[in-house]
């Protein structure tokens, strides 16, 4: 193979640095805009970095809207949903792979079809169903409507199928009950699937906007996206106070960026295995 010319490598770095700066620029712009005075933010040409960064804007934004509450809401709801999905998809995947019942094939076919359907098409009828159950504007409604993920069932089933069949059979011969085979053999052996799935679901639920914004009406129940939006529209008076709004946006995405810092490799591996389906 030909030798790579000496200038190729620095050129590649130059190119990548330029591209990455471009891609990261909106994040930089969000932070620097939070730190500007009102004069600086409206100045032409734009100021790159404020003369005296106003770090207090973050505190002001934190106090101007209940961001602490929104963050907590999102994190809690996402965590509960992740937990529920892990448990019920493990159970269903176990039944699909290791138990006998009629219409097993049909059930799996239904799951595949559901997987391909656009989730948003169900929002209107699911909204009607939730209101029949009197669960609009409650976390119970938000959580049970998100309690199952065909994507999770799919992924866990795949992982279970890759385990050697003898494993479960040997345990069965030893007299181990189903629950023990599932929770002490299968799940621990496929834990990486559960971690990846949990991470992707958590992020998806944390960011989720469309469906939760239909279900939650009381501001104290808002997840962070809906909360930020109402701050943008009302509190921020639609673009009159951009530094405050930019600070609010920073607060919203900060937990994710921190999570990403620790779980980058896992997450990027995870998306190539799969892609999320969220309500």
Partner 1 sequence: MNWRKKLGEPAAYGYLLPALIPLALFWIAPMLYVVYLGFTDWDFMSPDKTWMGLENYRELLQNEDFYKSLRVTLLFGLGTVLPVMAGGLVLASLLQGKLRGKAIYQAIVFSPWITTTVAVSIVWSWIFEPRVGLANGVLRMLGFDGVEWLQSSVWALPAVIIVSVWQSMGWAMVFYLAALQQVPQDLKEAAAIDGAGRLRTFWNVTIPLISPTSFFLFIILWIQSFQAYDQISIMTQGGPAGSTRTLLYLYYQSAFERFDVGEASAVALVLVVLSAAFSLLSGWVSRRFVHYTN
Kindly state whether residue 10 participates in binding partner 1, applying the rule CB under 8 A. no
For partner 1, the binding residues in 22-81 under the rule CB under 8 A are 23-24, 26-27, 29-30, 33, 41-46
- If the CB atoms of residues 24 and 167 are measured against partner 1, the closer one turns out to be 24
Kindly state whether residue 173 participates in binding partner 1, applying the rule CB under 8 A. no
Interface map 176-215 toward partner 1 (x if CB under 8 A): --x------------------------x--xx-xx---x-
Cβ contacts of residue 158 below 8 Å, gap of 6+?
Answer: 193
The Cα 271–Cα 279 span in angstroms is 18
Instruction: Please say whether the dihedral angle defined by the alpha carbons of residues 29, 259, 196 and 68, taken in this order, is positive or negative.
Output: negative
- If the CB atoms of residues 189 and 253 are measured against partner 1, the closer one turns out to be 253
Kindly state whether residue 15 participates in binding partner 1, applying the rule CB under 8 A. yes
Write down the least CB distance from residue 234 to partner 1, Å: 13
Length of the chain: 279
Write down the least CB distance from residue 259 to partner 1, Å: 8
Q: Are 160 and 97 in contact (CB under 8 A)?
A: yes
Interface residue with partner 1 among 54, 144, 171, 176 (CB under 8 A) is 144
Write down the least CB distance from residue 272 to partner 1, Å: 5
Q: Print burial letters for 18-27: b (CB count within 10 Å at least 16), e (below 16).
A: eeeeeeeeee
- If the CB atoms of residues 46 and 68 are measured against partner 1, the closer one turns out to be 46
Write down the least CB distance from residue 223 to partner 1, Å: 10
Write down the least CB distance from residue 214 to partner 1, Å: 7
Stretch that binds partner 1, among 57-65, 144-152, 165-173, 184-192 (CB under 8 A): 144-152
Kindly state whether residue 114 participates in binding partner 1, applying the rule CB under 8 A. yes
Kindly state whether residue 82 participates in binding partner 1, applying the rule CB under 8 A. no
For partner 1, the binding residues in 83-112 under the rule CB under 8 A are 87-89, 91-92, 94-95, 99-102, 107, 110-111
For partner 1, the binding residues in 244-273 under the rule CB under 8 A are 245-246, 248-249, 252-253, 256-257, 260, 264-265, 267-268, 271-272
Write down the least CB distance from residue 10 to partner 1, Å: 11
The DSSP string of the chain is -PPPPTTHHHHHHHHHHHHHHHHHHHHHHHHHHHTS-HHHHT-SSPPSS-SS--THHHHHHHHHTTHHHHHHHHHHHHHHHHHHHHHHHHHHHHHHHH---TTHHHHHHHHHHHHHS-GGGGHHHHHHHHHHTT-TTSHHHHHHHTS--HHHHHHHHHHHHTS-HHHHHHHHHTT--HHHIIIIIIHHHTHHHHHHHHHHHHHHHHH--HHHHHH--SGGG--HHHHHHHIIIIITTTTT-HHHHHHHHHHHHHHHHHHHHHHHHHHHHHHHH------
Kindly state whether residue 150 participates in binding partner 1, applying the rule CB under 8 A. yes
Stretch that binds partner 1, among 52-60, 145-153, 161-169, 189-197 (CB under 8 A): 145-153
């Amino acid at each position: 193979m030909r030798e790579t010319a000496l200038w190729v490598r620095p050129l590649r770095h130059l190119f990548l640095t330029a591209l990455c700066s471009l891609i990261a620029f909106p994040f930089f712009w969000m932070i620097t805009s939070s730190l500007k005075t009102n004069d600086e933010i409206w100045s032409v040409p734009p100021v790159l970095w404020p003369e005296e960064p106003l770090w207090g804007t973050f505190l002001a934004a934190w106090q101007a809207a209940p961001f602490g509450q929104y963050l907590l809401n999102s994190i809690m709801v996402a965590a509960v949903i992740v937990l529920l999905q892990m448990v019920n998809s493990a159970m269903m995947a176990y039944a699909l792979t290791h138990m006998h019942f009629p219409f097993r094939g049909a059930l799996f076919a239904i799951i595949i079809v559901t997987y391909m359907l656009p989730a948003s098409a169900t929002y209107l009828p699911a909204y009607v169903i939730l209101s029949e159950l009197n669960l609009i504007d409650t976390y119970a409604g938000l959580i049970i409507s998100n309690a199952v993920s065909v994507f999770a069932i799919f992924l866990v089933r795949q992982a279970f199928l890759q385990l050697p069949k003898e494993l479960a059979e040997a345990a069965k011969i030893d007299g181990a009950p189903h629950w023990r085979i599932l929770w002490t053999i299968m799940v621990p052996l496929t834990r990486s699937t559960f971690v990846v799935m949990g991470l992707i679901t958590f992020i998806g639920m944390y960011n989720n906007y469309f469906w939760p914004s239909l279900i939650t009406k009381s501001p104290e129940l808002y997840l962070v996206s809906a909360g930020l939006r109402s701050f943008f529209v009302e509190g921020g008076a639609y673009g009159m106070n951009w530094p405050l709004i930019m600070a609010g946006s920073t607060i919203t995405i900060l937990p994710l960026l921190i999570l990403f810092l620790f779980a980058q490799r896992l997450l990027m591996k995870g998306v190539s295995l799969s892609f999320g389906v969220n309500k």
